[in-house]
Chain A
Amino acid sequence: MQFDENAPVLEIKDLNLSYWTRAGEIPAVIDFSLTVNKGESIGLVGESGCGKSTVAMAIMQYMGGNGTIKSGSIKFKGVELNTLPPEDLRRLRGSAISMIYQEPFAALNPSLTLGTQLKEVPITHDGISDAEAHERAVKVLGDVRLPDPERVMAAYPHQISGGQQQRVVIAMALLSNPSLLLLDEPTTALDVTVEAGITKLIAEIGKQYGTSQIYISHNLGLILEVCDRVFVMYSGEVVEEGTIHSLFTWPKHPYTHGLFGCIPLPTADKNAAPLKPIRGQLPLPHERPPGCNFGPRCDFFVDGRCNSRDIPMSSVTGSAADHRVRCVRWTEIDFAAEIAHGEEKPPLTIGDTVLEVDKMQKYYEVHDRSIAALISGQSVKLVKANEALDFDAREGETVAIVGESGCGKSTFAKVLMGLETATGGEVRYGGTNIGDDPVRTRSPKQIGSLQMVFQNPSDTLNPSHTIGGQIGRVIKKFGVESDKAKIRERVMELLDLVKLPRDFYIRRPRQLSGGQKQRIGIARAFAGNPAMVIADEPVSALDVSVAAAVTELLTDIQRDHKTTLLFISHDLSVVRYLADRIVVMYLGQIMERGTTEEIFEPPYHPYTEALLSAVPIADPEVTKREIVLEGNLPSVMNPPKGCPFSTRCQHKIGRICDDERPPVQMASNGHAIACHIPLEELRKMEPVIVVPKAEERIHVTQ
């Protein structure tokens, strides 16, 4: 195995990959070519099922039992990997080529110390001594910005946080000083502020070590932050590739263009410039159309040209060098003449106050059953999941609750739905306090008027019952209709409402895609004619184009029914797009609340400032102030005594932050910030996100 150091780090030519299933051969990746030079960072982006992870597996020569490399070549520094004997491959994997997976807790062995797992890499591949390996591991742990590497070496995986685990996994991949690093959605399982830190680290590491990277992600914003070149994949094919600058400024393929129309960029607005979902669905791998795979969903489809033969990649001339696209009509389509967003919609008039949350508290008692706790008499500990929540929501309004995991947003939803009761304070819904009213004691009308859309499409519907049965049950339960035929008719109307065919009535959830299941979840929530709907991250588990369609559906239904929407999310870009008002929560407390404009402009709470900076934005012309938080989210079991954010705050002013609860300062009527820093100081902050004016944009000026 002789490497040619002058050859590109990775060169893939005309690669075709297939899986064998009961249905026969399924081509997963078709005609894939890619070259990675030294130190270069390549982004592979696409929706689920587009074949991006399959490419990574093929590079590792690890296609599983039913996958095969049909044709083409994969050359690593001039060495053909497809014909390499297993023994050579084994030496290559984990040393010259390393891979980082999505879930760090699954990548680390829970029963070995991190030190043992880290040292194993250089000991196996470089044959060095234990002491030397230890020294090297400590150094790399420092490089991935882990505080106190010696402590981490002695720890087990469960003793460190998710973000730290991912840093250890990255350190492990870097230990053998690989030439190529494959990253498969490395931050998807992490919180936004933690994700920002890891993303920055990955970008820095690439430069510091000169490692080439292939970064796989569904998030165009992240790709923009870490990569030099980007490949957009659709249904097994690369549809467009180019430099970050060229592809993000002048996308040529209708699919790429459509993707940008689906992302809630800062320029999108739910009334003036709504999202423009791509119509139709991703074709199943064995039902791909002839010619262009995107044809059936494309607005520029021309019969006879787009579906006559396989479309080759062609080089884009003019605007930018080194930009290729798989479309026969790319020279003819004038995207500038097309409206990039959906049709303008009338804004919803805001009515009277529907929901008032007044100093609501929810404490959980945690029983410590250890003998030590019994002896000391401190066997009951209070976990303050929600502390003095204060906000309201009006008819037709969208209020977003934003925060990272453990901030108490789901606990609040549970209290509102009556699955838990409040410990203190009041939750007034339509004038009556429902805070200590469990769902059992609420009237069917009350329950029906307050419904929920859940996060996980695979979980939201009961796999054992038909769609019609599940929605029908809700209608019957809420007393909307009682006659069998009428219930059936109402279910049909609801299916129309969420734009699904009526014969879904007899289908079962497993026959539906994720987006369709989420639509049924929405139909079910609206079955009782609710006045208020709580949506708990309803689109975060969906693909970009599907998420856009579901988001638009939700706002359309809201518009027609004047529903109050309580939108729970961690994603500030969706929140900015959807919400009229925003509540920012951290460790069970409200840090800041106000209208969407007030939240996105100074004065900021320091946590809001960091959150805004952490959200990746898929627009190269938007400038963002970089704020990366240090440290981890404290445990809810043991929160800081003073301001909950004091342990990570970038503007901490001293002891007062640690010791005293911050006062709630009113920046304007309705804009509240809980912080010790005086308002005048907060007002002096620079905006985090700056969006250029439409006429200053590059594709307009050039």
Chain B
Amino acid sequence: MANVSTTALPAPTFGAALMRAIRSFGLLRESWVGMIGVGLVLFWVVVALLAPLIAPFDPNATLIPFQKPGAVFPGNDTVPAGTFWLGTDQLGRDILSRVMWGSQTVLIYAPLATLSAYTVGILMGLAAGYFRGWIDDLLSRIADIILSFPVLVLYIIIIATIGASGINIIIAITFASAPGIMRIVRGLVLDLRNRDYVAAAQTRGEGSWRIMLVEILPNARGPLIVDSCLRLGYVIITIGVLGFLGLGLPPPDPDWGGMINETRSMALAFPHMVLYPCFAISSLILGFNLLADGLREISLRD
């Protein structure tokens, strides 16, 4: 049989896996909705990455307060001249620069919080769905209790207890979102655990966690990827809301929710102070939602 096997078989490597991921991402091109979503998300990612280069001013520099969009800054000893394209806030900080720098905050904390919520939710869901019995009962009841709290109250309680900081925002979001993720994962596992390949793994004596993580979890990835895009949108809203409630990142670093909160009392007189951060939040969330729609469209087609 030696002559049969002369075809060189490339060993599965990380590079090959990456290529496959890129190719399956290429499928998105077939969905218009998905492409718009990708465009919006990519736009904000680029802005966040380039914020230090393209932001016209230091986001925390207090220059001239209450400037309308398009007002010109003549320049002073330390700051060179420029234009406030989106105006300034009540402390004289350039809104465009703050929106740009704020995108960094959101795009760091939202994915981190989502990832953290997913890690906890997936582990809980796998355990509940795979082991069933009292573990399932216990985890499901805990999830029910957390989900029965009004989310906002929950956030306020957590942040008020442990203090407002980046890490604590992640903890709060994980605590509030993990039960929902757990329910999705549990449902998927209940279906997948009855497959013959799981039985095959059991009959060769594989450990429970290996079966859950290697045999079951990869096959649940489709719905989870779609859900994670949607959830990323919700987390951005949440971070915005926390900022608005004053429970977000401590000032003066720019944070979209915080910007809206600080200027809302002046919204009627100076709408630009509130509107532009609002636009930023909604466009990013829209991006993630459209991306999720596109992914779902593709997953349904095949």
> A-side interface residues toward B, CB under 8 Å?
417-419, 439-440, 442, 444, 447-448, 451-452, 454-456, 459-466, 468-469, 474, 477-478, 492, 496, 501-503, 505-506, 521, 524, 528
User: A503 is contacted by which of B9, B197, B221 (Cβ under 8 Å)?
Assistant: B9
A439 to B214: give the CA distance in the assembly, Å.
19
B215 at interface, CB cutoff 8 A: yes
B1 in contact with A496 (CB, 8 Å): yes
B196 in contact with A456 (CB, 8 Å): yes
B4 in contact with A502 (CB, 8 Å): yes
A607 to B202: give the CA distance in the assembly, Å.
34
Chain A hits for B7, CB < 8 A: 502-503
Chain B contact residue count (CB 8 A cutoff): 22
A447 to B203: give the CA distance in the assembly, Å.
7
User: B197 is contacted by which of A442, A460, A469 (Cβ under 8 Å)?
Assistant: A460
Q: A502-B4, A503-B9 are in contact. Are A440 and B196 (CB under 8 A)?
A: no
A462 in contact with B219 (CB, 8 Å): yes
B253 at interface, CB cutoff 8 A: no
A452 in contact with B12 (CB, 8 Å): no
A454 to B194: give the CA distance in the assembly, Å.
12
B5 in contact with A502 (CB, 8 Å): yes
A469 in contact with B12 (CB, 8 Å): yes
- Can you sample 21 A-B contacts with CB below 8 Å? A417-B203, A419-B203, A439-B205, A442-B205, A451-B203, A452-B199, A452-B200, A455-B196, A456-B196, A461-B197, A464-B221, A465-B214, A469-B12, A477-B206, A492-B1, A492-B5, A501-B4, A502-B4, A502-B9, A503-B7, A524-B200
B215 in contact with A477 (CB, 8 Å): no
Chain A hits for B200, CB < 8 A: 452, 454, 460, 521, 524
A460 to B215: give the CA distance in the assembly, Å.
12
A444 in contact with B205 (CB, 8 Å): yes
Interface 0/1 of B207-219, CB less than 8 Å to A: 0000000110011
Chain A hits for B206, CB < 8 A: 477
B23 at interface, CB cutoff 8 A: no
- Contacts A419-B203, A465-B218, A503-B9 known; list 10 others, CB within 8 Å: A444-B205, A454-B200, A460-B196, A462-B219, A463-B219, A464-B218, A469-B12, A477-B205, A496-B1, A502-B7
A439 in contact with B202 (CB, 8 Å): yes
Interface 0/1 of B95-117, CB less than 8 Å to A: 00000000000000000000000
A505 to B10: give the CA distance in the assembly, Å.
10
A451 to B199: give the CA distance in the assembly, Å.
11
Chain A, residue nearest B7 (CB)? A503
Chain B hits for A442, CB < 8 A: 205
Chain B hits for A505, CB < 8 A: 9
Chain A hits for B197, CB < 8 A: 459-462
A466 to B9: give the CA distance in the assembly, Å.
12
Chain B, residue nearest A489 (CB)? B5
Main secondary structure of the interface of B (DSSP, over half): helix
A454 in contact with B196 (CB, 8 Å): yes
A419 in contact with B219 (CB, 8 Å): no
Chain B hits for A474, CB < 8 A: 204
A461 to B200: give the CA distance in the assembly, Å.
9
B195 at interface, CB cutoff 8 A: yes
Interface 0/1 of B1-41, CB less than 8 Å to A: 10011010110100000000000000000000000000000
A444 to B203: give the CA distance in the assembly, Å.
11
With both chains docked as a complex, state the minimum distance between the C-beta of B103 and any C-beta of chain A, in angstroms: 35
A439 in contact with B1 (CB, 8 Å): no
Chain B hits for A468, CB < 8 A: 9
A447 to B218: give the CA distance in the assembly, Å.
25
A468 to B10: give the CA distance in the assembly, Å.
12
> B-side interface residues toward A, CB under 8 Å?
1, 4-5, 7, 9-10, 12, 195-197, 199-200, 202-206, 214-215, 218-219, 221
A502 to B200: give the CA distance in the assembly, Å.
23
User: B204 is contacted by which of A462, A478, A506, A521 (Cβ under 8 Å)?
Assistant: A478
With both chains docked as a complex, state the minimum distance between the C-beta of B57 and any C-beta of chain A, in angstroms: 49
With both chains docked as a complex, state the minimum distance between the C-beta of B14 and any C-beta of chain A, in angstroms: 15
A418 to B199: give the CA distance in the assembly, Å.
11
Chain B hits for A469, CB < 8 A: 12
Chain B hits for A503, CB < 8 A: 7, 9
Q: A462-B215, A496-B1 are in contact. Are A419 and B202 (CB under 8 A)?
A: yes
Chain A hits for B1, CB < 8 A: 492, 496, 502
User: A452 is contacted by which of B5, B10, B203, B218 (Cβ under 8 Å)?
Assistant: B203
A83 to B221: give the CA distance in the assembly, Å.
46
A463 to B199: give the CA distance in the assembly, Å.
14
User: A418 is contacted by which of B9, B195, B203, B218 (Cβ under 8 Å)?
Assistant: B203
A411 to B12: give the CA distance in the assembly, Å.
38
A452 to B197: give the CA distance in the assembly, Å.
11
With both chains docked as a complex, state the minimum distance between the C-beta of A530 and any C-beta of chain B, in angstroms: 11
A506 in contact with B203 (CB, 8 Å): no
Chain A, residue nearest B6 (CB)? A502
A477 in contact with B199 (CB, 8 Å): no
A506 in contact with B205 (CB, 8 Å): no
User: B219 is contacted by which of A452, A464, A501, A506 (Cβ under 8 Å)?
Assistant: A464
Chain B hits for A463, CB < 8 A: 219
Chain B hits for A447, CB < 8 A: 203-205
Chain B hits for A440, CB < 8 A: 205
A496 to B196: give the CA distance in the assembly, Å.
24
Chain A, residue nearest B195 (CB)? A459
Chain B hits for A419, CB < 8 A: 199, 202-203
A466 in contact with B12 (CB, 8 Å): yes
A464 to B7: give the CA distance in the assembly, Å.
23
A468 to B12: give the CA distance in the assembly, Å.
10
Chain B, residue nearest A478 (CB)? B204
Chain A, residue nearest B204 (CB)? A477
With both chains docked as a complex, state the minimum distance between the C-beta of B301 and any C-beta of chain A, in angstroms: 9
Please indicate which of the listed interface residues B202, B218, B221 has the most CB atoms of chain A within 10 Å of its own CB: B202
Chain B, residue nearest A443 (CB)? B205
B9 in contact with A454 (CB, 8 Å): no
A454 to B204: give the CA distance in the assembly, Å.
13
With both chains docked as a complex, state the minimum distance between the C-beta of A394 and any C-beta of chain B, in angstroms: 22
Q: Which 3 A-B pairs have the closest CB atoms?
A: A464-B218, A454-B196, A459-B196
A528 to B200: give the CA distance in the assembly, Å.
13
With both chains docked as a complex, state the minimum distance between the C-beta of A560 and any C-beta of chain B, in angstroms: 15
With both chains docked as a complex, state the minimum distance between the C-beta of B266 and any C-beta of chain A, in angstroms: 54
A460 to B206: give the CA distance in the assembly, Å.
16
B9 in contact with A506 (CB, 8 Å): yes
A316 to B117: give the CA distance in the assembly, Å.
71
A484 to B4: give the CA distance in the assembly, Å.
21
A474 to B203: give the CA distance in the assembly, Å.
10
Chain A hits for B215, CB < 8 A: 462
A32 to B179: give the CA distance in the assembly, Å.
57
A506 in contact with B4 (CB, 8 Å): no
Chain B hits for A444, CB < 8 A: 205
A456 to B215: give the CA distance in the assembly, Å.
17
A501 to B206: give the CA distance in the assembly, Å.
28
Chain B hits for A465, CB < 8 A: 214, 218
